[in-house]
Every structure is written in structure tokens, then in C-alpha cells.
Amino acid sequence: MRREGARGPADGGPDAERQRRARSDEFVPERFERVDEPAPKRRSVAGEVERPRPQRHVGPGARPDQPPDLPPHIATELATAAGPDWGVLKERVTERLAAAIGAYERERYRDAGRIFKVVVDLLPNAPSVRELAGLCQYRQGYWRAALTNLEAFAALTGSVDQHPVRMDCERALGRRRRVEALWDELRTGSPEPEVLAEGRLVLAGTLADGGDMAGAIDLLVRAGAGRLVRNPAERHLRQWYVLGDLMERSGELSRARELFARIDAVEPDAYDVPDRLESLGPVARSRRGGRSGAPGRSRQGRSSGPGAQQGRGGESR
């Protein structure tokens, strides 16, 4: 800090402005405003693995212009990773990480990624930081960078929760053997059903990428992905969609229509199901009163629903 009365570049002018912007220790937290909005409907994931978004904890008495507190388990984890330096780093790290999570939730991935990088540099052994940074990079299509952080997360925790995302990154990079190896790890890692289902969808997509459409369909059918469920969860809708996409691409139009119709009955606005049904045409009836497949247009390589790669704007595959 300059002594009172001293003069220098910081007193004004273009040079002073450049120096102020260049200072890495200055941080202006994002301004948070309370906005009452209805809960958004489930949207198409536009070709990326569906993963939970980080949840923020709003402490009592928080003001709208302040970032909310970090979830307690993340705050504890940061303190453990920082060790004796936590007293010095606490304010700097928590402020930045809260702002990064806020930007991530608002789908401002570039801003979030920039802040996450600072926190990763400060606390490279904090699992949640590596996980969130990796997910942010994945959302932007930075496959290799995402793998670096998500591999670190797995090494620090032993968790397979982000294996489906890692598989999709490897798929985007054309590394089929790595996808299969991660799938084997995932299957033996006792994951939650949702995580296992996501990994299976990525593997099916990888098989389809290589031209093994029959193998991709068989993988999902053997796992019960096409089974009718009375009260379907999100993973069931996603499995029906991917299986329907594969069926359509392989010429099984009647079966594809049936699967898309199931999703439409549960949630009409999910993914691009209305467009898919319109493209397939109405269900035609034979003279005996049975249903038969109406002519439809097969769209090779369509990737607008779950289980397909994000691809656009990312690294070269």
C-alpha cells in the first residue's frame, strides 16, 4: 500500500488503469440479486451427460448483494486441504468459490472457469474444487482440461461419480478403449443407479459412433433400458430417448416412435421429443386394425438429446 501523499502511476491515467486491471489480488465478487422465478422445466441437455448442479447454501441474514455461504461440507473440505494456511486463505478462497458456483449455476461457464482456475491453483488437493472445475470445463467442451481435473477428483476421493463425464470426454477425443476401461471401473465401483445408467448411455453412444448400432441397442436392451415403468425417473426418460434415437437411426421406426411417445406422455417438453415424433409421422393402422410403422426420416448422427456429445465449440475430436 502507498504511503499517504506519495505519487505514482496509481494516481490516474491510462497506465494506472492498466495496472489496476493487472493486479491479480483484486477481486470484485459477483453481485447476487434475488429474483423470484418459476422452477424451470427440464430442458434438453444438448448432448452432454446430465450431472447435478452444485447447490449453494444461503446463510441466515445474507444480503442480496453478497455471495451466499458455501455448503458446510465444502467449507470443511477447503479448510482440511489448506491446513495451517487456512487462516490466511479462508476469505480469499471462499469468496471466489462462492462466486464461481454462482456463475456456474447461471451457465456463465467462461466466468466460472476463470475463477475456478484461481481456486485450483490455491488448493489443488481440494476434491470439490477439482470436481467443479472439471465439470465447468466439460460444459465448455474442453475435454482434456476437464479430464485432468476429474481424474484428480477421482484420485483424491476414490469416487466413480464423475466416471460418466470422464467417459464422455474420452469419447469426444475418440478414445474408445479408455471409455471401455472407465466403464469397467464404474461397474465395479458400486455407483448409484443414476450414475450407472449415465455411464451405460455414454458407452452405447461410443459403440454407435464406431458403427456398432446393434451392439449399442443390445447393451441398453439387456440392461432393461426399454422397460415400461409406472413412475419413470429422469434416468428412465433419458434411457428411452437414447434407445429411441438408436432405433430410429437403425430403421426401427415403429419402436422409436413408441419410446418417444412414452417420454411425451410423461413430459411433453423434454428434449426434442415433439420434433422427433413429428418427423416420424403419425401412427398408421393396417387394414386389420393393427398399428404399422409410418414412413419416417432417419437422421444419422443426430445428437440433440442425452447421451450424445456436446461437440459444438469444443476441442477437436
Identify whether 102 is part of a domain.
Answer: yes
For residues 154 and 246, state if they share a domain: no
For residues 146 and 218, state if they share a domain: no
SS3 291: strand
Which domain covers residue 274, as residue numbers? 211-301
Residue 82's CATH number: 1.25.40.10
CB 59 within 8 A of CB 48: no
* Cross-strand pairs, 291: 285
Q: Could you tell me the end-to-end alpha-carbon distance of the chain, in angstroms, rounded to an integer? A: 49
Per-residue pLDDT of the chain (317 residues; tens, 9 = 90+): 444 444 444 444 545 444 443 444 444 444 444 444 443 333 333 334 554 445 444 344 444 333 457 888 888 999 999 999 999 999 999 999 999 999 999 999 999 999 999 999 999 999 999 999 999 999 999 999 999 999 999 999 999 999 999 999 999 999 999 999 999 999 999 899 999 999 999 999 999 999 999 999 999 999 999 999 889 999 999 999 999 999 999 999 999 999 999 999 999 888 899 999 999 987 654 444 444 433 333 333 333 456 544 444 466 44
User: What is the number of structural domains in the chain?
Assistant: 2
For residues 134 and 236, state if they share a domain: no
Identify whether 217 is part of a domain.
Answer: yes
CA–CA distance, 16 with 274 (Å, rounded to integer): 56
Looking at residue 113, its pLDDT comes to: 95
For residues 70 and 148, state if they share a domain: yes
For residues 136 and 229, state if they share a domain: no
Looking at residue 281, its pLDDT comes to: 83
**What is the number of other CB atoms lying within 10 angstroms of the CB of residue 199?**
26
For residues 60 and 149, state if they share a domain: yes
Please provide residue 312's backbone torsions phi and psi, each rounded to the nearest 5 degrees: -70, 130
For residues 53 and 148, state if they share a domain: yes
Closest by CA position to 162, among listed 140, 139, 131, 193: 131
For residues 216 and 147, state if they share a domain: no
CA–CA distance, 164 with 14 (Å, rounded to integer): 49
Identify whether 33 is part of a domain.
Answer: no
Q: Enumerate residues 6+ apart whose C-beta is below 8 A from 191.
A: 160, 161, 163, 199
CA–CA distance, 311 with 168 (Å, rounded to integer): 10
Identify whether 278 is part of a domain.
Answer: yes
Nearest 10 degrees: CA dihedral of 229, 232, 238, 241?
A: 50
- Nearest 5°: the CA angle 68, 74, 78 is 110
Last residue of a domain, which of 96, 125, 159?
159
CA–CA distance, 205 with 254 (Å, rounded to integer): 21
Looking at residue 286, its pLDDT comes to: 43
CA–CA distance, 97 with 67 (Å, rounded to integer): 9
CA–CA distance, 218 with 136 (Å, rounded to integer): 32
